[in-house]
Each structure stands twice: as structure tokens, then as C-alpha cells.
């Protein structure tokens, strides 16, 4: 037996991967299958899952009622609009984050080697600071009596302008700001990594061939940094689609996203079957966007940031 | 052409983005010294040392002076318990996920077996699936299995399976392992096999070669994988939120619970301590990395 183990490389491999594979199967794959099964079930009056096969949950998500499928008569856009809102928020967040992260990543990549570490340090600290704490910081800033209104009021008083505090917390803008803030570092690091890899000789060659700074950026820097942008987009888009903390604390009841919908089904409303259907729709939506995106721009190898 | 040349646009944008990243953190830390208990506006620092003295909602004097809320924090039993839970979960899940994740990385990089493509693919699941989907999936699994076991064996109340530290740890291992494996695998990819071959030529058997040559060379990768697992666990909110139960509150869960009810400068003090720890950790880590590459 021991002899066989020593010789059989494939058996060794299986034994080495067995614990990890077990974990992946029991805690990732089986839960996903279970979620699928539950989404076809029905909720008992006590909030328990009754395992049957019905498409009711999906029909409800589409805004229809199981016994009335005529979209003109009984269409309720509530859930469809929540899905659409999450999708557009994730899209907007990603675009803004790319626009903010790129110049900063470029700045660090072009900095002298010794300074780079200092700037990277400054990017890593917010990244490692707890997610919930960073949302809390924005609650303090955006409140009606919060820091931003305080500064604005002080500025207004300097110029003698009358000032009424702005209502910023619990608005869609607050959620967007919070999302951008939370996920910005996830975009900076992969873009920096791919920018840093570019061979400086390419810039010299471009300059020798008469390209100006803008043309060099457009024809060399940007294309070569695309893997970083793609990786960053995946790292930002997917979590924004599923997050419920930011919208919960900064959006209140005003901004409900798929994440909030799912969370409430599992905790407050107690309909796990509907929550499961919603989370599968969320998963399929993110997978479609990710696949489409990676097909178009190639798969980002910088996906794992340390 | 100067390789360090950056246009004024890039410099201004960088300054603005850094301001955007740090202004909220600065304000958060400032408010942890607030004299105002209600913490709505910043009313100034607590300047006097001495027995605790309040004036309405303002703290006029405290034994700890400006650090009143930090002292207050250490007396908060809930915070201390939550901190202990958070660290216990992080330590246990890091140790387990580092060991099995490293094993998996070696298997994937050095061995050929039938289900290898499937195994490799399964590691990408936590990266491409929103955390909440994973969280509710695991919650559903636990609650179904636990209900089934509890009724099937008709367990007495104190022996019933419930959500708690155990379920949180097991779930944290699930999302940490893929990251450990991918980091160690990346390290193995750029590996010079000639050292191991040399050891074998000199008569070392496979076990000795692994122990004396492979593992030491792999160690930096294993350590950074472990560190990643540790921070992921410390920081996790979503998975913990769905898999935690009575007696297993972690710091992020505790803070979230507070934010929905009442906010005192104590939360800011807790955040300040947390940020300072992160600051020190990132600093040390960079030092270590620099030494390695130098």
C-alpha cells in the first residue's frame, strides 16, 4: 500500500487535493445546488422550505403573478427595477472607479522606485481597513449635521451666503459615493501592476518614432495596461452587484439593491425560496457580464491581489 | 525622455484621489476624541484629566483626558468578546486553510490526476460569485442539515446543532483556501526544479527533499497566502453575517449592529485602534517584502 503510494503520482495528487476539494464541494458546490433546489420550492406558513417544483418565485421576480401571466394586466416592476438599479449602480461605480484609479496607478508606476512603496502603502491602508468602518466614515461625513455640511456651512458664513444643510445621507448619490470609496483600491492595484510591467524601452521607441505623449499613451500604455483594467473591473463589478451593507447604511430605505432584497428574504421576510431565486438571478447576471467582458478583453491574470 | 515624467493632470488627480481616500479616515479618527457623547458634531477635545464629569451630553473631564473613549472601550465587555471571537476565527481558519491550500497547490502544480481541471476550476468559484450568494447557500445548507439532524436524532436543546463559532470557522476556511492555493501555485510556477533534482542526486529521498528543499523555498509564498487568509477572515462581513449565531459575534458584525442603532464616539475609538493596527501591519509587511526582494 505504502509502496503504491510512493510510486503513484496521480494517487498522491488526489490525496493532496482531497481536503481542499472536499471543502469546495461541501461548502461551495453543494450550497449552490441546494440554492437552486430551494428556489423551486415554496414557503410554508412558518417560513420553512417546502421542497416542490414550482416556478412561482421566478415569475414573481419578473414582476408577474403565478395565476396571472398577462404582462399588461398585472405587471409589477418592483423586482425588475431593483435588478436594473443594481446593474446600473455596478456599471456606474466601475466606470467612476476606473477613471479615478487610472491616473493614480499611473502616477505610482511612474514614480521613482523608492517612492513607489510609500504610495502603495497609502493605497493598501484604506484597502485593509474594515469595510464596515469605511461605510461608517461616510455616514459621519454625509449626515445633515455631518462634516461635509459643517465645512460647507463654514465656507458659506465666510462669504456671508445663507446656507441650509444639504440632505445627502440616504440618497442614491450617497450609495454611489460609498461604493466608489469601498472598491477604489481594488482597481488601483491591478492597474498599477500591469503598468509597472511595461518595458520603458517601448516609450523610448515611441518617442524616437515621433509619437507625442498623448499618442504614446493611446497606442502603448493603455493597450498594455488593459489586463489590469479587466482584472480590476471583475474585482469591483462582482462585489458591488452583491453588496448590501453600503446601501443599507448609506441608502436607508431609499436605495434597495438585489443584495438587500436577498438579505431581507432570509432574515426579515423569511422567504428563503424567493431569496434563493433572487440570488441565483444575481449570480447569473454577474456571470453573464463577466463572461462577456473577459471574452472581449481577455482574462485578467492580475486577479489575485495580495 | 524622462521615465518619471507625469503630466500636471495626473498629479492633480492623484492628489485629489488620495484626499478622497484619506479625508473620511481622518474625520473618523478625529471624532474618536469628541467631547460630545451624541457624536453628531465635533465639539472639541476633552482637555481636562480627573474624575469623570459630564455637562449635559458633553464630557468635560475624564481620568483618561482626550483618550476618554479609548478607556471606555476597554471596559466594554461586548467589544472584548467580539475581538476575541474575531481573532480565534481568524487563527483557526488561517491555519487550516494554509495547510490544505498549500497541499492543493502542490497537487495542482506537480501532479497529474483525472479531476484536475475540475479542481482548478472550483477554486475560481469564490472569486467570480458574489459573496452574498455563497453566504446564503452555506446558510441554507447548515440550516437544512441541522434541522434534519436535530429532529432525526431528537437531540435535547443543549446538544442541538446551531450556528456559531464552528459554522463561521468552517465557512471562512471555504473562502480562504482558494486564495492560499492560487498564491502558492503562483510561487510554484516560477520554481527552479534543479535544486530538488540536485538534492535527489545527492541521495535525499522525496520526503527529505520536500522538507529540506521544497518547503523552505516555498515558504514566502505560503506565508503571504496565510497572511491573505488571515486578513480576509478578520475583514469578512458577509459570510460571517449569514453563518454566525449566538455567542459568535465578530467585530465587523458588532459594529454593523451598533451603526443601525446608536453611535457614540466609542465606535470611532474602536475604528481608530483598528486603523492603527492595519497601518502597523501594512508597514511591517512592506518591510518584509522589501527585504525579500532586495
Digit-coded pLDDT (tens) for B49-67: 888 888 888 888 888 888 9
B221 belongs to a structural domain? yes
Mean pLDDT of B109-121: 87
Closest CA to A186 of A304, A91, A301: A304
pLDDT of res. A300: 47
Q: How far apart are CA A110 and CA A106, in angstroms?
A: 6
Identify the residue among B1, B18, B87, B140 best suited for mutation to test binding to A, counting A beta carbons within 10 A and taking the highest. B140
Quick check: A279 and B132 CB within 8 A? yes
Mean pLDDT of B57-80: 88
Most confident of A113-122, B90-99, B122-131, B188-197: B90-99
Identify the residue among A20, A149, A190 best suited for mutation to test binding to B, counting B beta carbons within 10 A and taking the highest. A20
Contacts with A103 from chain B: Cβ below 8 Å: 9-10, 13-14, 17
Quick check: B1 and A290 CB within 8 A? no
Those residues with Cβ within 8 angstroms of residue A105's Cβ, 6 or more apart along the chain or in another chain: A187, A188, A189, A191, A192, A195, A225, A228
Quick check: A259 and B132 CB within 8 A? yes
pLDDT class of B37 with cuts at 50, 70, 90: confident
- Residue B43 has a CB neighbour count (10 Å cut-off) of 16
E strands within chain A?
A: 42-43, 49-50
Please state the separation of Cα A214 from the chain's center in Å: 31
Identify the residue among B12, B57, B111 best suited for mutation to test binding to A, counting A beta carbons within 10 A and taking the highest. B111
Residue A225, classed as helix, strand or coil, is helix
Q: How far apart are CA B267 and CA B271, in angstroms?
A: 6
Helical axes A113-128 vs B265-293, angle rounded to 10°: 140
pLDDT of res. A298: 63
Record the cell numbers describing residue A147, joined without a space: 462634516
pLDDT of res. A304: 46
Q: How far apart are CA B253 and CA A123, in angstroms?
A: 25
B34 belongs to a structural domain? no
B119 belongs to a structural domain? yes
pLDDT of res. A141: 92
Domains of chain A: 1-39 (no CATH), 81-303 (1.10.3720.10)
Q: Chain A neighbours among B 34-63 (CB < 8 Å)?
A: 40-42
Dihedral over Cα of B135, B139, B145, B146: its sign? positive
Q: Tell me which chain B residue has its CA closest to the CA of residue A216.
A: B1
Domain range holding B199?
84-245
Domain count within chain B: 1
B90 belongs to a structural domain? yes
B240 belongs to a structural domain? yes
Identify the CATH number of the domain in which residue B217 sits: 1.10.3720.10
Lowest-pLDDT choice from A35-49, A57-71, B160-174: A57-71
Of B133, B171, B260, which is closest to A27 when you measure between CB atoms? B171
Tens of pLDDT, residue by residue over A233-243, are 998 999 999 89
pLDDT of res. B2: 62
Of A21, A132, A303, which is closest to B255 when you measure between CB atoms? A132
Quick check: B27 and A140 CB within 8 A? yes
Are the beta carbons of A106 and A98 closer than 8 angstroms?
no
pLDDT of res. A306: 36
Lowest-pLDDT choice from A40-54, B79-93, B168-182: A40-54
Dihedral over Cα of A107, A112, A116, A119: its sign? negative
Widest distance between CA atoms in chain B: 80
B229 belongs to a structural domain? yes
Quick check: A243 and B132 CB within 8 A? yes
User: A54-70 burial string, b = 16+ CB within 10 Å, else e?
Assistant: eebbbbbbbbbeeeeee
Contacts with B9 from chain A: Cβ below 8 Å: 103
pLDDT class of B43 with cuts at 50, 70, 90: confident
Q: How far apart are CA A139 and CA A225, in angstroms?
A: 35
Q: How far is B218 from chain A (nearest CA, A)?
A: 16
Residue A100, classed as helix, strand or coil, is helix
pLDDT class of B113 with cuts at 50, 70, 90: confident
Quick check: B111 and A13 CB within 8 A? yes
φ, ψ for residue B55, nearest 5 deg: -135, 95
Q: How far is A157 from chain B (nearest CA, A)?
A: 17
Tens of pLDDT, residue by residue over B209-264, are 888 888 888 888 899 899 889 988 998 999 999 999 888 999 999 999 888 877 78
- What is the 8-class DSSP label of residue A159? T
Q: How far apart are CA A248 and CA A136, in angstroms?
A: 11
Of B41, B106, B274, which is closest to A133 when you measure between CB atoms? B274
Q: How far apart are CA A80 and CA A261, in angstroms?
A: 12
Q: How far is B249 from chain A (nearest CA, A)?
A: 14
DSSP for chain B reads --TT---HHHHHHHHHHHHHHHHHHHHHHHGGGBSBSS-SS---B--EESS-EEETTEEEEETTGGGHHHHHHHT-HHHHHHHHHHHHHHHHHHHHHHHHHHHHHHHHHH---TTHHHHHHHTTHHHHS-HHHHHHHHHHHHHHHHHHHHHHTT--GGG---SSHHHHHHHHHHHHHHHHHHHHHHHHHT--THHHHHHHHTT--HHHHIIIIIHHHHHHHHHHHHHHHHHHHHH--HHHHHH--TT---HHHHHHHHHTT---HHHHHHHHHHHHHHHHHHHHHHHHHHHHH-
| Whether ipTM exceeds 0.90 | no
Residue A68, classed as helix, strand or coil, is strand
B17 belongs to a structural domain? no
pLDDT of res. B205: 84
Of A10, A124, A242, which is closest to B133 when you measure between CB atoms? A242
Contacts with B237 from chain A: Cβ below 8 Å: 130-132, 245
B26–chain A Cβ distance below 8 A for any pair: no
Distances (CA, A) of A136 to A129, A143, A170, A226, B250: 12, 11, 13, 33, 17
pLDDT of res. B3: 61
Of B11, B136, B231, which is closest to A279 when you measure between CB atoms? B136
Which is more confident, B294 or A214?
A214
Tens of pLDDT, residue by residue over B175-215, are 999 999 998 988 888 777 888 888 888 888 878 888 888 88
User: What is the four-CA torsion angle of A235, A241, A247, A250, rounded to 10 degrees?
Assistant: 30
The whole-chain average pLDDT of chain A stands at 88
Closest CA to B135 of A110, A259, A61, A112: A259
Contacts with A136 from chain B: Cβ below 8 Å: 28, 255, 259, 263, 267, 271
Quick check: B21 and A150 CB within 8 A? no
Q: Flag whether pLDDT at A178 surpasses 90.
A: yes
pLDDT of res. B58: 86
φ, ψ for residue A65, nearest 5 deg: -110, 145
Quick check: A125 and B279 CB within 8 A? yes
B156 belongs to a structural domain? yes
Quick check: A259 and B130 CB within 8 A? yes
Q: Flag whether pLDDT at B269 surpasses 80.
A: yes
Which residues lie across from A204 on neighbouring strands? none
B261–chain A Cβ distance below 8 A for any pair: no
Helical axes A272-297 vs A222-242, angle rounded to 10°: 180
Distances (CA, A) of B32 to A88, A151, A240, B73: 36, 19, 29, 11
Amino acid at each position: 500500500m505504502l509502496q503504491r503510494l510512493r510510486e503513484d503520482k496521480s494517487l498522491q495528487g488526489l490525496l493532496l487535493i482531497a481536503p481542499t476539494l472536499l471543502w469546495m464541494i461541501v461548502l461551495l458546490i453543494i450550497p449552490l445546488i441546494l440554492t437552486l433546489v430551494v428556489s423551486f420550492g415554496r414557503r410554508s406558513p412558518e417560513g420553512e422550505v417546502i421542497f416542490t417544483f414550482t416556478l412561482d418565485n421566478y415569475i414573481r421576480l419578473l414582476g408577474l403573478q403565478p395565476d396571472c401571466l398577462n404582462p399588461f394586466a398585472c405587471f409589477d416592476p418592483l423586482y425588475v427595477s431593483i435588478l436594473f438599479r443594481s446593474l446600473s449602480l455596478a456599471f456606474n461605480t466601475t466606470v467612476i472607479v476606473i477613471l479615478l484609479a487610472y491616473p493614480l496607478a499611473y502616477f505610482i508606476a511612474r514614480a521613482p522606485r523608492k517612492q513607489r512603496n510609500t504610495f502603495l502603502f497609502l493605497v493598501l491602508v484604506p484597502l485593509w481597513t474594515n469595510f464596515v468602518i469605511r461605510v461608517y466614515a461616510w455616514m459621519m461625513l454625509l449626515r445633515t449635521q455631518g462634516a461635509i455640511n459643517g465645512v460647507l456651512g463654514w465656507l458659506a458664513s465666510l462669504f456671508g451666503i445663507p446656507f441650509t444643510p444639504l440632505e445627502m445621507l440616504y440618497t442614491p448619490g450617497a450609495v454611489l459615493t460609498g461604493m466608489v470609496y469601498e472598491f477604489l483600491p481594488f482597481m488601483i492595484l491591478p492597474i498599477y501592476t500591469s503598468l509597472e510591467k511595461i518595458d520603458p524601452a517601448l516609450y523610448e521607441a515611441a518617442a524616437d518614432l515621433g509619437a507625442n505623449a498623448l499618442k504614446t499613451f493611446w497606442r502603448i500604455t493603455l493597450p498594455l495596461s488593459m489586463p489590469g483594467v479587466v482584472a480590476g473591473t471583475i474585482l469591483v463589478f462582482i462585489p458591488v452587484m452583491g453588496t448590501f451593507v453600503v446601501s443599507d447604511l448609506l441608502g436607508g430605505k431609499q436605495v434597495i439593491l438585489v443584495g438587500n432584497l436577498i438579505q431581507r428574504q432570509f432574515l426579515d421576510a423569511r422567504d428563503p425560496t424567493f431569496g434563493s431565486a433572487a440570488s441565483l438571478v444575481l449570480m447569473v447576471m454577474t456571470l453573464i457580464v463577466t463572461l462577456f467582458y473577459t471574452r472581449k478583453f481577455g482574462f485578467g491574470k492580475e486577479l489575485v491581489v495580495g | 525622455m524622462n521615465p518619471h515624467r507625469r503630466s500636471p493632470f495626473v498629479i492633480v488627480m492623484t492628489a485629489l484621489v488620495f484626499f478622497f481616500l484619506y479625508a473620511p479616515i481622518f474625520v473618523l479618527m478625529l471624532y474618536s476624541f469628541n467631547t460630545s457623547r451624541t457624536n453628531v458634531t465635533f465639539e472639541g477635545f476633552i482637555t481636562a484629566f480627573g474624575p469623570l464629569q459630564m455637562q449635559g451630553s458633553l464630557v468635560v473631564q475624564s481620568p483618561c483626558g482626550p483618550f476618554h473613549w479609548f478607556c471606555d472601550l476597554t471596559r466594554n465587555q461586548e467589544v472584548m468578546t467580539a475581538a476575541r471571537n474575531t481573532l480565534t476565527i481568524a487563527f483557526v481558519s488561517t491555519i487550516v486553510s494554509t495547510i490544505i491550500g498549500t497541499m492543493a497547490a502542490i497537487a495542482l502544480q506537480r501532479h497529474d490526476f483525472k479531476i484536475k481541471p475540475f479542481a482548478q476550476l472550483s477554486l475560481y468559484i469564490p472569486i467570480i460569485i458574489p459573496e452574498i450568494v455563497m453566504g446564503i447557500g452555506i446558510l441554507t445548507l447548515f440550516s437544512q442539515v441541522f434541522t434534519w439532524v436535530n429532529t432525526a436524532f431528537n437531540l435535547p436543546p443543549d446538544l442541538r446543532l446551531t450556528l456559531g463559532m464552528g459554522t463561521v470557522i468552517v465557512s471562512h476556511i471555504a473562502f480562504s483556501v482558494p486564495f492560499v492555493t492560487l498564491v502558492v501555485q503562483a510561487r510554484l510556477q516560477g520554481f527552479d526544479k534543479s535544486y530538488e533534482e540536485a538534492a535527489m542526486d545527492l541521495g535525499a529521498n522525496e520526503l527529505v527533499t520536500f522538507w529540506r528543499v521544497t518547503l523552505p523555498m516555498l515558504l514566502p509564498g505560503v506565508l503571504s497566502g496565510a497572511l491573505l487568509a488571515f486578513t480576509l477572515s478578520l475583514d469578512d462581513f458577509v459570510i460571517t453575517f449569514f453563518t454566525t449565531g449566538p455567542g459568535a459575534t465578530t467585530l465587523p458584525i458588532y459594529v454593523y449592529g451598533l451603526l443601525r442603532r446608536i453611535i457614540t464616539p466609542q465606535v470611532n475609538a474602536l475604528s481608530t485602534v483598528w486603523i492603527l493596527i492595519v497601518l502597523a501591519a501594512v508597514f511591517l509587511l512592506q518591510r518584509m517584502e522589501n527585504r525579500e526582494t532586495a
